[in-house]
Amino acid sequence: MSNTLLQRHTTLSANLLAFCRHLRQKGFTIGPLESSAMLAALDIVEPFHDPQLFQYTLRATLARTQREQELFDQIFPQYWKELEKAVDSKIAEDKQPRKPGTRQQPPSLQALKSWLNGKPAQDNIELAVYSAGESLGRKDFSLFSTEELQEINKLILQIARRMARQYSRRKERARSASMLDLRTTMRKNLRRGGELIELARFSPKQQKNQLILLCDVSKSMDLYSQFLIQFVYAFQQLGQRVETFMFSTSLQRITKVLRQGIFRQVLNELSETVPGWSGGTRIGASFAQFYQQYSRLLHGHSTVLILSDGMDTGDIEVLEESMRKIGKKAERVIWLNPLAGRPGYAPEVRGMQVSLPYVDLFAPLHNVESLRALGRVL
């Protein structure tokens, strides 16, 4: 293992994630979910004064199969031994006489070395719970590369799953639910003279929602078009109860396209087949077309998710009437606007003003932090 690589990381969390990358190179199946579970476990167990417990914690969260566990026990001591050598080397370099005017290195390397030797560090060693795109939290989606967008795919999929399921007023029997079904409990215990021996429990029944995505690909949304495709592509992975449409001057159903092929192929095909891509914006006419042709998708268990900046150059009255009809038939309407996260933003464009009365949730969608906030709200 190269010491040069290890010298680049001076915080504990960075080295832990580097260790995950090293395991992936050895054939381990480790993604953002496993990395997040590892750091969450370390935050709970706090095994930093017990090297063996630290090793067990990492092995439990990062090694799935018996072969991976056996290989993990071989790799683990070698990796951290090499890391300590790299830290010693870096500290030795930093102790060389410095020229006047050069900046002093922070003491984080010494803190990391103390931790590796099982000694409590005086410095505050960073241990933030990792999630996909952690370092990209405030970076605007318009600046993301394709690879960075693919990293947040799991986060988008989590939000999609929350939206696809909700709890109804109906109940279903459960063995370990926290809610007591008093009526059923009394009925079951009547033959025992009313003594409460057998308890009946219930939980709210989950029901699947119909998700309808209406995505704006007009010229004003150009900067976010690749992210929006990544967003709807992740949603479509949920299966049959997701319908996706794109619009600019007219509406186009793209559900079948999203269900076939990998992301890059889908992106190329959509840019060639969707009419009016990066063209004008007629939101009202597009929504009227949706209602006329696909209103059967709207019912008491359907959620309409609109991704648009609301800049309509068409007939505003048509937009208002279309939103009224959609809002009346759908269970809820969510409007996500990538411009709403900008400082000082206000929904001043006429298209947004006439639409908001029929929207149940209006929220920004411009970076990872706004995605997480949306997940919390849902």
For the chain, what are the domain ranges? 3-130, 151-161+208-377, 168-207
Which pLDDT tens digit goes with each residue over 38-48? 877 777 777 76
Residue 193 to residue 126: CA distance in whole angstroms = 61
Residue 375 · residue 155 · CB < 8 Å? yes
Which pLDDT tens digit goes with each residue over 228-285? 888 888 888 776 688 999 999 899 998 888 887 676 677 677 767 777 676 788 999 9
Residue 156 to residue 336: CA distance in whole angstroms = 13
Structure tokens at 104: 């002093």
Residue 281 · residue 248 · CB < 8 Å? yes
- Lowest mean per-residue pLDDT among 138-147, 195-204, 347-356: 195-204
Instruction: Give the CATH superfamily of 151-161+208-377.
Output: von Willebrand factor, type A domain (3.40.50.410)
Edge-to-edge order in the sheet of strand 302-307 = 251-253, 242-247, 210-216, 302-307, 332-337, 361-364
Helix (H) / strand (E) element for 171: namely strand 165-173
Identify the band that residue 198 occupies on the pLDDT scale cut at 50, 70 and 90.
low
